[in-house]
């Protein structure tokens, strides 16, 4: 699975949705968005709670983040100015 591919998981509870995320993407999955809302029913009567999690598989060991270390020249400029 490509790290840029987003997947949405739906379940009745947050715990169940998180279990689905871990099963599909692993424990290091990156959760991008969560929401809960009601579905079904008539004008809200009989509606059921639904939790949605949008997640992505991690990219590398930094959890999808690219870490850049400033060069020695940049650090010396910051040291002289700051």
**pLDDT tens per residue, range 37-79:** 888 888 878 899 999 999 999 876 444 455 566 666 555 555 5
Question: 1 in a domain, yes or no?
Answer: no
Confirm whether 52 is domain-assigned.
yes
Range of the domain at 75: 7-81
Total structural domains within the chain: 1
- Report pLDDT for 1: 45
pTM of the predicted model as reported, rounded to 2 decimal places? 0.62
Q: Is residue 2 part of a domain?
A: no
Residues 6+ apart with CB under 8 A from 52: 8, 9, 10, 17, 33, 34, 35, 36, 37
| Measured distance between the N- and C-terminal CA atoms of the chain, rounded to whole angstroms | 44
Indicate the range of 3-7, 18-22, 54-58 predicted with least confidence. Answer: 3-7
């Amino acid at each position: 699975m490509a790290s840029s591919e987003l997947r949405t998981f739906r379940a009745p509870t947050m715990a169940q949705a998180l279990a689905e995320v871990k099963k599909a993407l692993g424990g290091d999955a990156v959760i991008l968005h969560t929401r809960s809302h009601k579905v079904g029913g008539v004008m809200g009567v009989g509606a059921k709670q639904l939790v949605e999690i949008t997640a992505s598989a991690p990219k590398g060991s930094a959890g999808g983040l690219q870490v850049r270390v400033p060069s020695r020249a940049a650090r010396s400029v910051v040291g002289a100015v700051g």
